[in-house]
Amino acid sequence: MSSDLPGLVRLRDQREALTRRTILTAARELFAQRGYARTPVRLIAEHAGVAPQTIYAHYGSKAGVLTGLVDLLDDEAGMPELVAAADRMTDPAELLGLLATASRQVRQRCGDIVAIMRSGAAVDPDIAATQAEAQRRNRLGVEMVVSRVRDSGTDVVERAVDIAVALMSLGVHDCLVVEAGWSYDEYESWLKRTLVDTLLDGGR
């Protein structure tokens, strides 16, 4: 019997992961359609095909579900893969190019999650706190890449992290992609060139 325990544990973990993913997918759809404030846990549970108690057991509250969406954003935008790629790189331009790729993938794949947090942050403290956490994670990622560039022996301009965060901001993306009609390929290419030209002393 004891030899079966590892397999049973893995199966249970897989089921729990699937349940969490199902809850987050349902919440994502409903928050986008109805707004965070007008989406009760009961409706998320109904949409996900689980009991409300299951949501509370996994996330504690509706605010906890929203925090889970930040983790989902990281996963769907491919952040773990980009972090792993950064660990293998030493070329400054390639490292800064990863920031452009990250910005593109967040906006393109998870724009709805970004919009949920953006629209609700001004009126709901739970969403504001979650948005602040997402911004903190974003800045930490930028700091990591800039630190790797410096470690390669390349000179970086003063306040490089602040400048990179500004260039990667939602406002810049919306101005170019939403308002001016740029493709995501054009946006990513421009952002990479601009990060290299702006952050590296003397460009590249």
Domain boundaries, the chain: 2-60, 72-199
Amino acid type, 7: G
Instruction: Reduce the DSSP state of residue 2 to 3 states and report it.
Output: helix
Locate all alpha helices (DSSP H) within the chain, ordered by sequence: 5-34, 41-48, 52-59, 62-76, 79-88, 92-121, 125-151, 160-167, 170-173, 184-199
Is the full-model pTM beyond 0.85? no
Q: How far apart are CA 29 and CA 145, in angstroms?
A: 33
Could you say which of 3.50.4.10, 1.10.10.60, 1.10.10.10, 3.30.70.260 is the CATH number of the domain covering 2-60? 1.10.10.60
Instruction: Reduce the DSSP state of residue 156 to 3 states and report it.
Output: strand
* DSSP secondary structure code for residue 180 in this structure: S
The pair of structure tokens assigned to 174 is: 């919306």
pLDDT tens, per residue, the chain with 204 residues: 455 666 666 777 788 889 999 999 999 999 999 988 889 999 999 999 999 999 999 999 988 898 898 888 888 899 889 988 988 898 999 999 999 999 999 999 999 999 888 877 877 888 888 888 888 989 999 999 999 999 989 999 999 999 999 999 999 999 999 999 999 999 999 999 999 999 997 554
The pair of structure tokens assigned to 164 is: 């990179």
